[in-house]
Amino acid sequence: MFAKLLSTVTLVVALTAQVKAGALIAPALGVSGDGTSGDVQTPGDSGCGSIDVTQTLDSATPVQAASDGTFTVTATNFDSGSDGSREIQAATVDPSAKGTAFSDQCTISQNGDAAPNANGSQQIIAKLPDGTQCTGGTAGNLCLVSFKTTAGFGNCVVIQQA
């Protein structure tokens, strides 16, 4: 009887400890600084998770896209193995930066590890789809890119065109 109770308690504690893990793609929309495991989200259908895009877009730290549309972000995992995957499964762009129209896929030319042995960070190099015109934000030159890792975690990053 005691062994069953101990096993159950151990299982509950183990599952609770892994509720917030995964990876964060920085600079993450709605997150100050580098972010923590508590900032990790599952984007779902909204693309940006629970972040209020209209409240955070113009105050976000944008990533500057090169003239050819390439840009670099940083994937940081807070759990090892496949739960902490830094490998990007999907990166979709919303040229209006409203967080409602993610359609075309970005091309990933440098990806992260699918099952890292330890917590850490890796640079991810991506490229906006050819012909993308970022029209969001006050200046009219911001896009949103929704990143999703192979573990299902992710978030939005603001991309700025010159």
Reading the chain (162 residues) residue by residue, the pLDDT tens digits are 555 544 444 443 344 344 457 999 999 999 988 899 999 998 877 889 899 999 999 999 999 999 999 999 999 999 988 899 999 999 999 999 999 999 999 999 999 999 999 999 999 999 999 999 999 999 999 999 999 999 999 999 999 999
Q: What are the strands, taking DSSP E only, across the chain?
A: 23-26, 63-64, 70-77, 88-94, 107-110, 120-127, 142-149, 154-160
56 lies in some domain:
yes
pLDDT, position 16: 38
Flag whether 15 is in a domain. Answer: no
Q: Where are the alpha helices (DSSP H) in the chain?
A: 2-17, 53-56
d(CA 137, CA 153): 25
Residue 126 in any domain: the answer is yes
Show the DSSP H helices in 18-155 as ranges.
Answer: 53-56
Q: Is 122 exposed, middle or buried (0-12, 13-18, 19+ CB in 10 A)?
A: middle
pTM of the model: 0.85
Total count of domains within the chain? 1
- Establish if 10 belongs to a structural domain: no
Alpha carbon distance 48, 30 (integer Å): 9
* Range(s) of the domain holding residue 59: 21-160
Give dist(CA 67, CA 107) in Å, integer: 15
> Can you give the pLDDT at residue 33?
86
The token pair at 84 is 């902490």
Give the residue from 60, 65, 88 showing the smallest Cα distance to 157: 60
- Domain assignment present for 67: yes
